[in-house]
Amino acid sequence: MITVSNLCKSFGGLEVLKGVNVEIDKGDVICVIGPSGSGKSTFLRCLNLLEVPTGGQILFNGVDITDKSCNINLHRQKINLFPHMTILRNMTLAPVKLLHKSQEEADAQALKLLQRVGLGDRGNAYPAQLSGGQKQRVAIVRALMMEPEVMLFDEPTSALDPEMVQEVLDIMIELGHDNITMVVVTHEMGFAREVADRVVFCDGGYILEQGTPEHFFTNPQNERTKAFLSKILR
């Protein structure tokens, strides 16, 4: 579904991505790991063109999205909930405006998704009345309202209190089992172990190693991968 070839991104003189190559098939869950500053977020942002690549190609269903300004169907993840609107309104705004769904249809879909993440009774609450973990769960189902072909997650649990991490991971694990295509920057190796089809290790502007979670847990090859994993797998 997505073929990234020789993707490059520089900020002025700073070369962040120096030639990233990766294949993402429909239904794949890809976990991207690597040191801070290695370009993981930049890579995700290039995938939905929040950053314009300085070189290379991103083919999405055969169309080069770097080539022209096309209407990409990737969800843009880092959008906050509107504080003055109820959860239900936050979830239905975009599908009604952009997908031209009726309010009733969107409401029904939103309620179903909220029920699925254990928030069926919170539709009329405001964001401030939700915990961090609940807000993050709403953010995920709100993204699903747009029926994206790919979900991109940039460290979705990093800002959460430790006791709220698992409730968000559980939702993502479920999505992973549902065959939704996901690219997730995360160091939650338990999550990677359970749902990732492939783990990708980035460092120094390149993907240095990729493989199954098992490969990374039992048999990493690259010295830098080994050093990195020894720090996060304690």
User: Which residues contact Mg ion (rule: CB under 5 A)?
Assistant: 40-41
C-alpha–C-alpha distance, residues 193 and 213, integer Å: 5
Output 87 or 182, the one with its CB closest to Mg ion: 182
CB of 188 to ligand ADP, least distance (A): 15
Written as six digits, the tokens of 211 are 């493989």
Shortest separation between residue 185's beta carbon and Mg ion, angstroms: 6
Site string for ligand ADP, 40-79 (x = CB under 6 A): xxx-------------------------------------
Based on CB atoms, which residue is closest to ligand ADP, 44 or 138? 44
Residue 133 sits in the site that holds ligand ADP (CB under 6 A): no
Contact 31/217 with Cβ under 8 angstroms?
no
Would you say 40 or 135 has its CB closer to Mg ion?
40
CB atoms < 10 A from the CB of 10, how many?
Answer: 15
* CA gap 131, 141 in Å, rounded: 15
Residue 157, interface with ligand ADP (CB under 6 A)?
no
Select the binding partner of residue 219 from ligand ADP, Mg ion, none (C-beta < 5 to 8 A, by kind). none
* Alpha-carbon distance values, 16 to 84, 92, 119, 153, 234 (Å): 38, 37, 39, 19, 28
Nearer to ligand ADP, 77 or 92 (CB): 77
Shortest Cβ distance from residue 113 to ligand ADP (Å)?
28
Cα distances from 82 to residues 57, 113, 188, in angstroms, run 34, 18, 28
- Our finding on whether 134 is near ligand ADP (CB under 6 A) is no
d(CA 122, CA 115): 9
Tokens of 138: 């709403």
The residue (of 33 and 114) whose beta carbon lies closer to Mg ion is 33
CB of 154 to ligand ADP, least distance (A): 7
Q: Indicate which single residue of 27, 37, 118, 120 sits in contact with ligand ADP (rule: CB under 6 A).
A: 37
Q: How far is the CB of 229 from ligand ADP (least distance, A)?
A: 16
Ramachandran class of 20: left when φ > 0, alpha when ψ lies in -120 to 50, beta otherwise: beta
Other beta carbons within 10 Å of 217: 15
Question: What span, in angstroms and rounded, lies between the C-alpha atoms of 110 and 106?
Answer: 6
CB of 9 to ligand ADP, least distance (A): 8
